[in-house]
Amino acid sequence: MTDKSRTGTGAPRSPRTAPPDPASQAKPASFAELMRLSGGSDAVDAIRIGFPAGMIKDAGIYFGVPAQRIRSIARLPETTAHTLVKRGALMDAAASERMWRLADLMSLAQEIFDDEEAAKAWLRTPNLTFHDTAPMDYLDTEPGAIAVRQVLNAIATGGAL
């Protein structure tokens, strides 16, 4: 009788493994972890997989704003967010990208202001440059994010807009 767990050479067979499930790949679990995610292929892969819907509440706590404000930035309806959280599901790529954009610009603001609380306050506070709207509320669109980035870069360099 032959041992079916061995190959013809007598060496044990390695167990068959399924290809890695994209949903099980490392992805940020919290807003703070998302802020540490650099751009490039890691960010693209994580965004495509999606971020946990619970990150909305986490970001609201982080910024000291209602979750509704973060849902508005992510353009995620309350009922959808609630269902995703209840199921432990991930946001779609579009909402995940908006959350990444918020985290990315928070990281830039923190670097420029050299103070986490000052960066949060700047992003939360209405600004005349943005027609008396808070910079964070511009981050639901890429053109808005570009405008916020331009203002932050002007602050960093002491330049004009």
What are the sequence ranges of the domains in the chain? 29-157
Residues facing 112 on adjacent strands: none
pTM over 0.85: no
Spatial separation of the C-alpha atoms in residues 137 and 124, rounded to whole Å: 8
Phi, psi of 145 (to 5 degrees): -65, -40
Q: Considering only residues 50 and 2, tell me which one the structure prediction assigns the higher pLDDT.
A: 50
Say what the pLDDT of residue 41 is.
84
Spatial separation of the C-alpha atoms in residues 157 and 16, rounded to whole Å: 56
**Is the predicted pLDDT of residue 98 greater than 90, yes or no?**
yes
Q: Tell me the pLDDT tens digit for each residue of 55-80.
A: 999 999 999 999 999 999 999 999 99
CA atoms within 13 A on the CB side of 145: 17
CB 101 within 8 A of CB 91: no
**Is the predicted pLDDT of residue 36 greater than 80, yes or no?**
no
